[in-house]
Structure 1
Amino acid sequence: MTAPTPRRAVLVAALAVATAATAATVPGGSAEAAAAPSAPPAPRASGRTVDNHFWYSYAHWLAGTHQGTTAVGGARPGLEIKTPVGRTEYADPHTGKKSTWEYASWTSPVHRSAVPATEAIASWNARTPAGTWIQVELRGTYGDGRSTPWYVMARWASGDRDIRRTSVDGQSDGRSTVWTDTLAVDAPASGPRITDWRLRLTLYRKPGADRGPAVWLAGAMLSAVPDRFTVPASTPSGKAHELKVPRYSQETHAGQYPEYDNGGEAWCSPTSSQMIIEYWGRKASATALTWVNPKYADPQVCHAARSTYDAAYKGCGNWPFNAAYAATYRGLAGVVTRLTSLSELETLVRAGIPVITSQSFTAEELTGAGYGTAGHLMTVIGFTAAGDVIANDPNSRDNASVRRVYKRRQWENIWLRTKRPGAAGKVASGSGGVCYLYVPAAPDAAQLGALQTVGVL
């Protein structure tokens, strides 16, 4: 109900047939061969289904291969342009505008995944002032030693004046395919899996500019969540805990800004993002909101929608775009990952970290929701003593009715499963535990411990 085109529904349907499209041309990228030195498959870690790895420290940015970039220290270390290595023309497919950019790039070290993976989702946190943008690419190695192409996972800027923020459709090597924000192997049950990977970040700025973008965090979550209609029940902690998170309804924006997918039920993701951004004490400046119609309530939600809109996806539900938007606020970091149980989610909430979760369900599967959805984001803010989930559900008629309590067993199943009964007896998809985590870039001891416990750091 709340996503314009649920990416996992498209992914599941597409994987039923063989796909082989030519990967998109990368502006300013090198024409490296698709093959890589042979490497043995990574050992399968017993019981593990998710592996996270992110670069964010000064030592991280010193590593890897620099082509015109440099590591920058300070309170928030990052990657910046030192000396551009070339110029390229980029023709924006969404505006038709052609512009010349100078660029530099950084290629990460290879990360060996603890989980031979069927899916990968990249995350990045960056500052892109006017006249700058970044491109994020991921290249995996299969268990047989062959490599994927350099897949473009995003062409991204925090604003939309220079380029249109976009994912890149039509990328495949016949063994894996990029679906909006997710790289997925085409035959997870029988084909090769991704055993290691690396990122390439290309930073662009207008020719002759003094400064360019800065990247503070980049990495990916790789996973191999088993196909399942139901998941094991977790044991509640037995302790009630609820965070005071602002409440915003997406439905109060119905019909607003058709150019950003028309508000209302399409804005669950940015509305959820805005709740947590404000929970951490951040908000858009009055200057940033001057473009919003003054008759509209909660203009910051409109701003979040514009700031997360994916011009290729034609919606605001691109997972990493939401995390990247949250990280444009001072001192915040954001990543997309998967959790493996409701107990892990409880660990985060008890440490003061609310979590945005992605789920799909029929109206009958979630008591009290009053709707069904092929893909919806909501914010988990607490748990009752009985272990039931307290959520700020943006699919509510107004802000006052956003807080909901959902039955624990129902909720964990609709969130963690990968398959569900669909219309006319067909099988539909589930997110397999996808969530957004927005936290301080310098977390306190409790927050750090919780993030380590759930495997994010």
Structure 2
Amino acid sequence: MRHLPRALVLAALVVPALTQPSPTVAAASRGEERQIAHTSWTTGGQLRSGDRVGVKIAKGSLKLRKPAAQRTYLGKKYESGSWTSAWAEPGFALTELIPSWQATTPGQSWVEVKARVRTATATSSWDVMGRWTSGSAIRRTSAGTQTDDLASVLVDTLQTAGTTGATGWQLKVTLLRAPGSGAAVSLDRVGAVASRLPATDDVATSAPGPGAGTTLDVPAYSQMVHAGHYPQWGGGGEAWCSPTSVAMVLGYRGATPAAAIGSAGPGHPDPMVDYAARMTYDHGYDGTGNWAFNTAYAGRFVPESFVTRLRSLREAEDYIAAGTPLVVSVAFGRGELTGAPISSTPGHLMVIVGFTSTGDVVVNDPAAPTDATVRRTYRRAEFEDAWIPTSGGTAYVIR
């Protein structure tokens, strides 16, 4: 589970993901209480808009050139090159930024993602948002608290200081590999969700839409059957809601990695869950709930995987109608989510898989005690209140 103090959970309006912020969307967002703009660079043409040092663009991805610059990390030397995005201007004063990325990091290679923000008069320092690999070059890690006059970092989220917010943001991605290894490290997609928090937790229940009556056939995995598994990766059980949810969506996509099957050894049901926990574990955060690390893991096996936010269940219905289940982050107190297998939680992830004909929410809730009891139906009003004001409608889109 993702444990966050309720005062720190996020709330924001999401508009559809963009490759660049459009003036039309920015203007529409200004008058809203919850505001967000999602910007990503996903093609070679879009990546060319950034500044490149020691890297090249080939087949739609950013790749390390040879020879590259040198960098030392934890006493080891690496060849490196970097890409810095253009400034993104969301059209409102952002208070939160959540980057996410997809990268190929074979062997002794890895990527580092940094972010910074600016106001009309100042620019923040570069803050590390993640050092990530799917291999063994380093231990995947967030960098912990980093604070300057304009911003600070909470695990996977950059937060601006005070209430004024920032006018723009920028990302910097460094690609690294062991000298002479020739490892084909690449950046395949990178972006971020910028948002401004509302002043109130009040959420009006949305009316049912095009997803009503549709339920997707997403496989059901319980995190609880893994209690005590692999203490070095969080110990299973209540700690594994995020990787369990991601494993369910990858299973639905037919994208369960071959390496996961049989990897956990005898006595371990659903080994794809153990594998996902291992591959999403954040050694700095000491858990598997880092949002960006989960979408980066999933992004190795599907064309598109990113963190975003939605403003209501009505927007989630558009995804369900299009055949896309959503991993969502919720929090609720005792008695606030009828039928939940746990009484309360400061942070938990599950999969929206559909809606009843009357608009209630059909989910795969990994907190259920067995795989057979994972599928649940929650009241629309209760679920929306557990999702939107607590995490701002945060969701993983894996498609």
Taking structure 1 as the reference length, the TM-score comes to 0.80
Which deviates more from structure 2 when the two are superposed, residues 362-371 or residues 273-282?
Answer: 362-371
Note the C-alpha offset of 1:164: 0.4
Find the residue that maps to 2:335 and give its secondary structure: helix
Q: Does residue 1:233 correspond to 2:191, yes or no?
A: no
User: Which residue in 1 is equivalent to 2:311?
Assistant: 340
Which deviates more from structure 2 when the two are superposed, residues 304-313 or residues 114-123?
Answer: 114-123
In 1: Cα distance, 2:31 partner to 2:199 partner:
17
Note the C-alpha offset of 1:195: 1.3
In 1: Cα distance, 2:183 partner to 2:232 partner:
31
In 1: Cα distance, 2:184 partner to 2:70 partner:
14
In 2: Cα distance, 1:388 partner to 1:155 partner:
39
Note the C-alpha offset of 1:237: 2.1
User: Which residue in 2 is equivalent to 1:352?
Assistant: 323
Q: Quick one: which amino acid aligns to residue 65 of structure 1?
A: D
Q: Does residue 1:46 correspond to 2:39, yes or no?
A: no
1:326/1:332 contact within 8 Å kept: no
Note the C-alpha offset of 1:247: 0.4
Which ranges in structure 2 are unaligned for 5 or more consecutive residues? Answer: 10-25
User: Which residue in 2 is equivalent to 1:433?
Assistant: 393
Find the residue that maps to 1:59 and give its secondary structure: helix
1:383/1:390 contact within 8 Å kept: yes
1:50/1:225 contact within 8 Å kept: no
User: Which residue in 2 is equivalent to 1:257?
Assistant: 230
Which deviates more from structure 2 when the two are superposed, residues 61-70 or residues 373-382?
Answer: 61-70
Q: Does residue 1:197 correspond to 2:169, yes or no?
A: yes
User: Deviation per CA, 1:412-437, whole angstroms, max 9, x where unpaired?
Assistant: 011001xxxxxxxxxxxx21111111
Q: How well do the aligned residues superpose, as a CA RMSD in angstroms?
A: 1.7
Q: Does residue 1:165 correspond to 2:102, yes or no?
A: no
The runs of at least 4 aligned residues of structure 1 exceeding 6 Å deviation read: none
Taking structure 2 as the reference length, the TM-score comes to 0.91
In 2: Cα distance, 1:368 partner to 1:283 partner:
29
Q: Quick one: which amino acid aligns to residue 304 of structure 1?
A: A
Find the residue that maps to 1:115 and give its secondary structure: coil
Q: Quick one: which amino acid aligns to residue 134 of structure 1?
A: V
Which ranges in structure 1 are unaligned for 5 or more consecutive residues? Answer: 13-41, 92-97, 418-429, 440-457
Aligned match for 2:151, one of 176, 179, 202: 176
Find the residue that maps to 2:352 and give its secondary structure: strand
Find the residue that maps to 1:304 and give its secondary structure: helix
In 1: Cα distance, 2:309 partner to 2:252 partner:
22
Note the C-alpha offset of 1:103: 0.3
Q: Quick one: which amino acid aligns to residue 104 of structure 2?
A: R
Summarize the alignment of residues 314-325 of structure 1 with structure 2, pairs less than 5 Å apart: 314-325=286-297
User: Deviation per CA, 1:277-314, whole angstroms, max 9, x where unpaired?
Assistant: 111111121x4555422221111100000000000110
Percent identity between the two aligned chains: 39
Aligned match for 1:80, one of 48, 63, 70: 63
Summarize the alignment of residues 371-450 of structure 1 with structure 2, pairs less than 5 Å apart: 371-417=343-389, 430-439=390-399
Q: How many pairs align?
A: 379
2:124/2:149 contact within 8 Å kept: no
1:84/1:149 CA distance change after superposition, 3 Å: farther
User: Deviation per CA, 1:183-215, whole angstroms, max 9, x where unpaired?
Assistant: 012323xxx312111111100011122233111
User: Deviation per CA, 1:377-431, whole angstroms, max 9, x where unpaired?
Assistant: 00000001110000000000100100000000011011001xxxxxxxxxxxx21
